[in-house]
Each structure stands twice: as structure tokens, then as C-alpha cells.
Amino acid sequence: MLGSNSVGSAVTNPLQSGSSASSRIVQWLQTASAEVWIKFLLALLGLGLAFASALFSTVSRDAGNLWATVILASVSLVLATLVGLVTVPYLARRVAVERLRESFDYDVTRAGIIYVLVTLVIGVAALNTGNNLLYIVVAAMLAAIVVSGYVSALVLRNLELDIHLPEHVFAGRPVLGRIVLHNPRRLLPSFSIRVISTRKKRKKVAKQWHWEATTFAFPFNRPKEKQWLHLPDRRLRRVTLIPPSPGIFQAMAYFPFLAPRGGASADLELKFDHRGCYREDSFGLATRFPFAFLTKTRHVSLAREILVYPRIEPTDEAFEILPLVRGEWESFVRGRGSDLYRIREYMPEDSARHVDWKATAKSGSLKVREFAREDERKLCIQFDNPEVGVISEAAYEKAVDLTASLAWHFSTQEAEMSYVIPGCPRTRDLHEFLAWLAVVKPVGAKEAGDPLHELSRDAFDEYNIVVTARTRGTVPTALWNSSYFVFVGEPEPKAI
């Protein structure tokens, strides 16, 4: 499952080694922020002037010049204060940002805990006995802990991570996502790297205290317009923390070795049980190298988002509804062929009911009638989104999956397809329709325009398959002859 890219190499002319080193320094200086360097040089200049003023104030004091001593000492103090207030906080913020970008988490492993306990025992024995050999052993063991922390951080630095996700994903169907890790360093390889998700899993709904802005009003029991004192205030409330949405990766990818200027990739199986939008804002690069005392994790800010379409697996409801829908649709298409287009020769695939016997008798060969709309097979699939609370959540998800399954099935037929969801424009793109179904939710309040009444205006132009939670009595009568309704409000979806 792991594959490595070819290791790149660079050939340098020995005669140009000095010039290449200087050019790298110049390039590094040019890539650095100009503002940072200006503030840094100004800080050095200010501290140099402050130091010079302090020296001359000492010389003036020894010479007995009181006013020169006071002025020079004051200038030195003012310059040092300005540098401390203006430049030092700015540079400290820059350093903090860089450290945050390269932030690490530390987790002590079981082996690390045992190792520390053994080190403490040997250290106590060294203090009690005064044995120099035990002191050397303790020093070596403590040095191993320091080396482990430094080397693990060195292995993780500068690694470049990229995530490739599939474009179309359906709930319940496994797909492959690719993780690509690259080591851009020239000399230092990386060992035992794991790519993990940094999303914290919280299964239960938690509560925590939170400060929020409010207004202190007095007198308390009077209306707001009769209160003569209003002051900004804050109060402490206990708020509910909603569990985060599930992440994209639930497993981890392992890379045992990354050569200098080399890379490797790993394919992970992704499977999502529910439709919706899944997002990861950051990933973690973790390692236990070299001694497995610590698990050090470096956070990599890399936002990835994937849209999971509803399920399209055939269900019992789909097996029951599809033959009925297909039969009604074919009847509608045949019935729409009422305008005579031409009379042509009989073909083996033609139906005998289309034979024109009068034309056959006149010509002496079989003739058939061809209607103008015989091949115009138009089909519209609409999801009639119900209000909140009309049907249960399980029935709603079943309705969304059934709509997606019908759309996917009929997209393979020889027909001109269109798809409709209330609040979205009519589309002929199947994947756009599935993307809408992936994030659709019950509407909070019914919109002014009834989507079924709007659909009835074009009832005679195409055949409609409507998945709805309405009752039969609320369906417009103009749609009965040109539509097929799947009622999902029933205990089991029914169609008429």
C-alpha cells in the first residue's frame, strides 16, 4: 500500500560552491519579511545609541559635568524603553506565530513512564550510596530522554503533507483516499511517521461555563423604557457544546521511512455511514522515534472537505416502485405520441399497432405511422421537501435515499432528465442534484410558492416522479395524469 517516489538529486559545480552559498544567503534575506528586518535593525541601532549614551554619561559623571550626565542617562533610558515597548513585543509575536505553526503535542507512552520510574529509582540509589557509576548511569538515562525529544521534533519538521480525496462519494460505499507525504530536506531522512486526524472525539453532549455580554438595568421590575440606569455587564452561563461533526479519516497511515528529498503515498479506505458534508481542518504527523518514550505530534493546518451523497443501494421499496414507475412512464410516453409526423417503412422493432393499413394496401408493403413526440422521453424527478416534524428523521432519510436511488437509476435511461428541489433551480446535472440531496434538511416554514403547483404548469411537457410526505388529498389534481407520487409519510413508502 505504500509507494515511494524517486529520490531527487542535485549536482553542484565545485568551482561555484562559494558563489552558490552566497546566493543562497541573499535569497534567504530576500524571502524574509522586510518589515521584520527593518524593526530588528532599528532595535539594534536604538540599543547601540542607548549603550553609547550610558557610556558618555559615565564619562561626564567622572568629569564632574552634572547636567550632561543627567541628559545622557535620560536619553539612554528613553531609547532602551522605546525599544522594549515597540520592537520587542512585535518580534515576540512573530516568534510566537512561528512556534504555533510548528506546534507539537507530547504524549508519554507506557514505555516512557516505566523508563522514568527506573531512572528515579537509580537516581535515589545514587544519592543514598554516593556511587559515581550510578551518577553516570542516571546522567546517560536523562540524556536519552532529552535526545528522544529533540530527535523526534527534528524528524517531523518541514515535512509536507497533501491529501487527495475522491470527487464523488456515496454513503455506505467504501472509497479510497490518498495521503502523500514529502520530505524536502537534503540530508536528513524521517522514520516511523504516522498521519492521524487531530479532531477530538466527543460522543456525548457536554456543557461548560461561558461568559456573555449583557446589560445591568435598574430598577429591576420596571419596563425597559422606565429604567433610568443601564450599564454594560457580563454574566456567566452554562452552555451546551454540540459534538463536532465526524472527520474524514478514522484510521491512520504509516510511513516507516522517508528518504531525503523523497516521498511516499498511502491509500486509506474511507466509508461514511451518513450523507452530509465532512470536514477536516488539520492533520497530525506523529512519531515515537527514536526510543518510543514520547509520542510527539506536529499539527499541520490543511483544510479538506468532502460531500457525501445519499445511499443509492437498491432497497425493497425501490424494487417495488421501479417496475410501476417504468410502466407508468412508458404508457405516458406512448400516449403523448398523438401528432402524426410521417409514414415510413416498417422496421422489425416497430410495434404492430402502429401499422397504417390503408397506406400498406396502397403501396403493397408494410407502412407504419411515426408520431412527432414518440421519441421525446422527458422525465423530471422532484423531492418535495417537507416541513420540520412532518415525518420522523428515519423516514426523512429514507425518502432522501429513495430520491437519490430513483435519480441514479433513470439517469442511465435514454431520456431527457431534469431534477427539482424546492429552493433550488431546476437542473439537468445529476451530480449537482445529488449534492443538494447530500445537505438538504427539512424546511422551517412553508414557502409562499407551492412547488407542486409550480410543477403542475409543466405537467403535460414531461413525466414527473415526486417523492413527497403529503397526503393524497393535498396533491394538485392537474398532476395526476402526468406524475407518479411516492408517499413517504406512510409507515412504508407507497406509490400511486
Chain segment 351-380, per-residue pLDDT in tens:
676 777 777 877 878 887 766 444 456 788
Between the alpha carbon of residue 458 and those of residues 151, 343, 462, 495, the distances in Å are 70, 30, 7, 21
Calculate the CA 379 to chain-centre distance: 35
User: Quick check: bond before 223 cis, omega within 30?
Assistant: no
Residue 309 is predicted with a pLDDT of 92
Longest dimension (CA), the chain: 139
Between the alpha carbon of residue 280 and those of residues 283, 301, 302, 435, the distances in Å are 7, 9, 8, 19
Residue 452 is predicted with a pLDDT of 60
Q: With 0-12 CB in 10 A as exposed, 13-18 as middle and 19+ as buried, what is 458?
A: middle
Grid cell locating 34:
522586510
CA distance 24 to 239: 54
Angle at 47 between CA 41 and CA 48, to 5 degrees: 90
- Per-residue pLDDT tens over the stretch 218-265: 777 778 777 877 777 777 777 766 555 667 887 888 999 999 999 999
Helix, strand, coil share (%) of the chain residues, nearest 5 = 40, 30, 30
pLDDT higher than 70, residue 70? yes
127-142 as b/e: b if 16+ CB within 10 A: eeeeeeebeebbeebe
- Residue range 280-301: average pLDDT? 87
Grid cell locating 309:
451523497
pLDDT higher than 80, residue 36? no
The top-scoring range by mean pLDDT among 197-201, 330-334, 432-436 is 432-436
Look at residues 493, 476, 485 and name the one whose alpha carbon lies nearest to residue 328: 485
Q: Read off the pLDDT band of 412 (50, 70, 90).
A: confident
- What are the φ and ψ backbone dihedral angles of 102, each rounded to 5 degrees? -105, 40
Q: Is 456:472 a contact under the CB 8 Å cutoff?
A: no
- Average pLDDT over the chain, rounded to an integer: 75
- Residue range 441-456: average pLDDT? 61
Angle at 435 between CA 479 and CA 421, to 5 degrees: 20
Residue 265 is predicted with a pLDDT of 92
**Secondary structure E strands in 310-421:** 340-345, 367-371, 378-383, 416-420
- Residue range 325-336: average pLDDT? 52
Q: With 0-12 CB in 10 A as exposed, 13-18 as middle and 19+ as buried, what is 305?
A: exposed
**Secondary structure E strands in 199-325:** 206-218, 229-241, 253-258, 262-270, 276-287, 294-309
Q: Is 276:308 a contact under the CB 8 Å cutoff?
A: yes
CA distance 422 to 439: 13
Taking residue 416's Cβ as centre, other Cβ atoms within 10 Å add up to 11
Residue 53 is predicted with a pLDDT of 85
Lowest mean pLDDT: which of 102-106, 199-203, 268-272?
A: 199-203
Residue 374 is predicted with a pLDDT of 44
pLDDT higher than 70, residue 179? yes
Unique residue bearing C-alpha cell 403542475: 456
Unique residue bearing C-alpha cell 394496401: 361
Radius of gyration of the chain (CA): 38
Q: Determine the length of the chain.
A: 496
Q: Is 249:306 a contact under the CB 8 Å cutoff?
A: no
For residue 447, give the DSSP letter: -
User: Quick check: bond before 290 cis, omega within 30?
Assistant: yes
